[in-house]
């Protein structure tokens, strides 16, 4: 028994000294996590890629300029036999050389509105990249906030179990003293010892849960030393009980990130349809260049020749038939309809989720008020039982029941507080208001 008490004291002292080093608020945890979390950093890089892609050049608005140069050499052997003389003239190892260099410019002036549609699509993808980042940020804020309050919950539970150990220890002390003077039986003493050991084991298991939650919190903040000590400023779970359903639903329709992304998918599908239609129009392409050519001959009447100058042209054309346009048009039209249906489905799903969460939120608030009343009654009942136990009017089993009722009441109110907080977090995330935790 003494060994268990020593272990508990050492663990408690170690935890207290460790927690004193890092006071953290929820806002500080969120700020550190938003700056360091790997998923957020990856998503931001992907957003930057979509931003880099939304350019006039990538859409095809700007001309392309090519600079090229080349050298060609030919080594020939020839036999020539004129009809007039019939004599054969032979020439061997004739080496002719050609050197070319040029600057070429090509520019698509019109492509059936395909270029302008492509540019709008790139801009929409840029906006969708921003939306994807927002979704990741909101998921992270909700996840870290829930884990932060889970850590608070585990610490409160640890304190409750420590209090249970202290009660069991005091009961064991009383029973041990009275057992030695003959007022209590050995059965009473053994039962008190068993209860103390059980409470001590539960406290030690709870310490493991606290450490697990702390490691998860450090991991979310991308702390390399995931097992670092951490003390949070919140010692209670405060819940917001003034949320309004109509305001939440209105905010969901306006600002929910997933709903915005669904709308962007519809816009992208419409732009894909316009790209298919653009192939019904003619195209106009402009090309121009400046080149230099140098030729050197061994047997030609001209020994060498140099040419340089400008060249240019314009091409107008139209694709009359390619066998795929009608199919692609039908598919693009169906994709628009699918994206609209997906948005309607998502909206219905959000309404169902919001309604379920709202019901759970209101029910947990009612449970929380009820459990607060039960906790007051359980504390009074425990105090009365303790007084009667000291007077010898109450058995150890009845005292244990009163103690268990108090601990159960504390556990139920703690669970109700945390469940209400989780519902609150989820409601704010659905309505696009989760960033209020950063304020």
Dump pLDDT digits (tens) for 361-378. 999 999 999 999 999 999
Q: Residue 17's pLDDT is what?
A: 46
Q: Residue 183's pLDDT is what?
A: 65
Q: Residue 417's pLDDT is what?
A: 95
Q: Residue 2's pLDDT is what?
A: 44
Q: Residue 21's pLDDT is what?
A: 55
**Any idea what DSSP says for residue 230?**
-
360-397: b (≥16 Cβ within 10 Å) or e: bbeebbebbeebeebbeebeebbeebbeebeeeebebe
Spans of the chain below 50 pLDDT: 1-20
Alpha carbon of 169 to those of 172, 362, 419: distances in Å? 5, 39, 32
CATH of 237-282+326-434, one of 1.20.1600.10, 3.40.50.720, 2.40.50.140, 1.10.599.10: 1.20.1600.10
| Strands (DSSP E) found in 165-236 | 231-232
Q: Residue 205's pLDDT is what?
A: 96
Q: Residue 200's pLDDT is what?
A: 93
Q: Residue 268's pLDDT is what?
A: 97
Q: Residue 359's pLDDT is what?
A: 97
> What residue ranges of the chain are covered by domains with CATH 1.20.1600.10?
237-282+326-434
Contacts of 197 (CB under 8 A, 6+ apart): 1, 4
Q: Residue 16's pLDDT is what?
A: 44
């Amino acid at each position: 028994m003494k060994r268990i008490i020593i272990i508990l004291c050492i663990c408690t002292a170690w935890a207290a000294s460790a927690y004193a080093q890092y006071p953290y608020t929820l806002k500080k945890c969120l700020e550190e996590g938003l700056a360091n979390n790997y998923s957020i950093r990856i998503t931001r890089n992907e957003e930057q890629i979509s931003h880099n892609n939304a350019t006039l050049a990538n859409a095809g608005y700007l001309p392309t300029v090519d600079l090229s140069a080349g050298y060609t050499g030919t080594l020939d052997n020839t036999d020539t036999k004129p009809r007039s003389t019939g004599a054969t003239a032979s020439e061997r190892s004739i080496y002719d050389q050609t050197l070319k260099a040029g600057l070429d410019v090509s520019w698509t002036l019109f492509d059936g509105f395909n270029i302008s549609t492509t540019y709008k699509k790139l801009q929409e993808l840029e906006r969708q990249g921003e939306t994807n980042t927002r979704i990741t940020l909101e998921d992270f804020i909700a996840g870290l906030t829930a884990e932060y309050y889970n850590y608070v919950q585990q610490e409160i539970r640890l304190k409750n179990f420590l209090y249970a150990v202290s009660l069991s220890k005091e009961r064991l002390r009383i029973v041990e003293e009275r057992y030695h003077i003959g007022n209590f039986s050995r059965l009473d003493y053994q039962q008190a010892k068993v209860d103390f050991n059980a409470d001590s084991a539960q406290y030690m298991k709870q310490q493991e849960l606290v450490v697990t939650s702390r490691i998860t919190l450090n991991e979310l903040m991308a702390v390399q030393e995931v097992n670092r000590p951490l003390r949070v400023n919140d010692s209670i779970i405060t819940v917001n009980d003034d949320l309004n359903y109509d305001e939440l639903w209105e905010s969901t329709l306006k600002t929910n990130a997933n709903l915005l992304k669904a709308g962007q998918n519809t816009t992208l599908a419409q732009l894909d349809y316009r790209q298919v239609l653009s192939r019904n129009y003619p195209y106009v392409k402009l090309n121009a260049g400046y080149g230099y050519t140098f030729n050197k001959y061994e047997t030609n009447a001209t020994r060498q020749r140099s040419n340089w100058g400008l060249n240019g042209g314009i091409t107008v054309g139209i694709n009359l038939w390619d066998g795929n346009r009608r199919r692609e048009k039908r598919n693009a039209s169906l994709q628009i309809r699918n994206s609209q249906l997906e948005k309607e489905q998502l909206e219905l799903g959000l309404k169902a989720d919001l309604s379920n969460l709202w019901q759970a939120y209101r029910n947990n608030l009612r449970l929380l008020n009820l459990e607060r009343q039960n906790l007051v009654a359980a504390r009074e009942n425990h105090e009365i039982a303790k007084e009667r136990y000291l007077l010898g009017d109450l058995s150890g089993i009845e005292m244990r029941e009163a103690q268990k009722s108090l601990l159960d009441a504390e556990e139920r109110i703690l669970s109700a507080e945390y469940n209400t907080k989780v519902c609150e977090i989820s409601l704010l995330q659905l309505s696009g208001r989760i960033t209020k935790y950063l304020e």
